[in-house]
Structure 1
Amino acid sequence: MTFFTFGAYILYWNYRNWATYKRATGDKVIPLLRTLFPVIFLYPLLKRVDNGLRARNLACGFSPVLLTIGVLITMLLACSPVWIEPGMRSPDWLKDVPAKEANYRLLKVYGVMYFVWALQLWLMALVQRAMNFHEADAEGVGNHRLTLANWLWILPGIFIFTVCLLAWILASLPCAVL
């Protein structure tokens, strides 16, 4: 979901985790507020989940601090690829660059960004695993199928990825001279 929504699903995911936590514990938290500021509220969520597991003598094998740091670092890195290719700040950074060099630069940016996104997804999967464990649903049975709403989120992402891939392929082909 996160991949095909270009990260937008994380906001909904964060909201659902806080809403589920509130329902399960009765704590007076405002899920929407905590969703809008994930940088501030991710650690408290993970710490509460960890405390809840420890109170029941259960262990999920994660560190709330390290997991929060990892998620926040990957979120920051994913926000802007400028750190990969500093020239990207300029709107014409590829203007006078030969096609092969431009393709190389774009592939480098996309390759590194996909790695960062994959790392972020892995970390978020660890968070989800801890949440499932906390909710006595270690296998994630409660959320293992894609719903119509999920598909409505996914389809625009598939379309955008397909168009981008086709554009990249077509741009890589040599031009035919008539």
Structure 2
Amino acid sequence: MSNVFYTPPAADLQPATNDEPEFFTVAPRKLIVMMLLTHGLYTVYWFYQNWKNYGNHSGRAIWPTARTILAFFYAPSLFCKVDRACKNFDKTGMRYWALSSAMLILLQVSPFFIGLVYGLYLRPAGAEDVPNLLWLDFMVGTAALVLQTLIISRVQGFINRVNVDPNGLANDGYTVGNVIWISIGLLIWLVIGANTYGLAKM
């Protein structure tokens, strides 16, 4: 009869907490160094880590690899999620997130459009204009990378704020892997610069 008065313990209805940061934390200075010295290769890692962290934090079944391969198509989605996280954190969002993602995409394709114009312009222009066009293509690509770095650096500032690490102190040092990727990036810079200079002199 005593079982009649037995009350089972109440289920814990509190949502499970996840201590992992919602997005990828990195110090702003390290981000800029890695972006520029790896010739933009760090962007791939940055997108992957952000989608990985977001998936783990939210519990959503997303595929970070696919979203990284199509990074610039998913950039608006990621930036929107950062904006939403900022609003949930302190009521102030990431202003102009849509414009920032659009600019990031346009900067990514801008060197290809310059190359297309170069290919179409090469024949009527004659060989004497080739050096100028080669250097133009190189400078446009470099300028696009710098501007992309500035955009991503701005987004990282909001991410670090949401992760309660404004200065990115949790990831401000350089690992062996970072040094390896910097070495690869510098080699890419050297090869591109040497090829551009060599072809321009022909």
Q: TM-score, normalised by structure 2?
A: 0.68
Q: What is the distance in 1 between the residues matched to 2:115 and 2:104? A: 19
Q: Once the two structures are aligned, what percentage of the paired residues are identical? A: 21
AA at the equivalent of 1:159: L
Aligned pairs for 1:11-160 (under 5 A) are 11-59=44-92, 61-83=94-116, 86-88=117-119, 97-98=127-128, 101-160=129-188
Q: What is the distance in 1 between the residues matched to 2:181 and 2:46? A: 13
Higher-RCO chain (CA-CA 8 Å, sequence separation at least 6): 2
Cα 1:22–1:135, aligned 2, differ >3 Å: closer, same or farther? Answer: farther
| Count of residues in Structure 1 that have an aligned counterpart in Structure 2 | 169
The superposition leaves residues 143-163 of structure 1 with CA deviations (integer Å, 9 ceiling, x where unpaired) of: 222211111112122123234
Q: What is the distance in 1 between the residues matched to 2:176 and 2:48? A: 19
- Unpaired runs of 5+ residues, structure 1, are none
Cα 1:23–1:107, aligned 2, differ >3 Å: closer, same or farther? Answer: same
Task: Name the Cα RMSD after superposition.
Answer: 3.0
Check whether the contact 1:71–1:120 (CA below 8 A) recurs between aligned residues: yes
Check whether the contact 1:49–1:130 (CA below 8 A) recurs between aligned residues: yes
**Whose Rg is larger?**
2
Runs of 4+ in 1 over 4 A off after TM superposition: 166-173
Check whether the contact 1:49–1:131 (CA below 8 A) recurs between aligned residues: yes
Check whether the contact 2:89–2:162 (CA below 8 A) recurs between aligned residues: no
Check whether the contact 2:37–2:182 (CA below 8 A) recurs between aligned residues: yes
AA at the equivalent of 1:77: S
Q: What is the distance in 2 between the residues matched to 1:41 and 1:34? A: 6
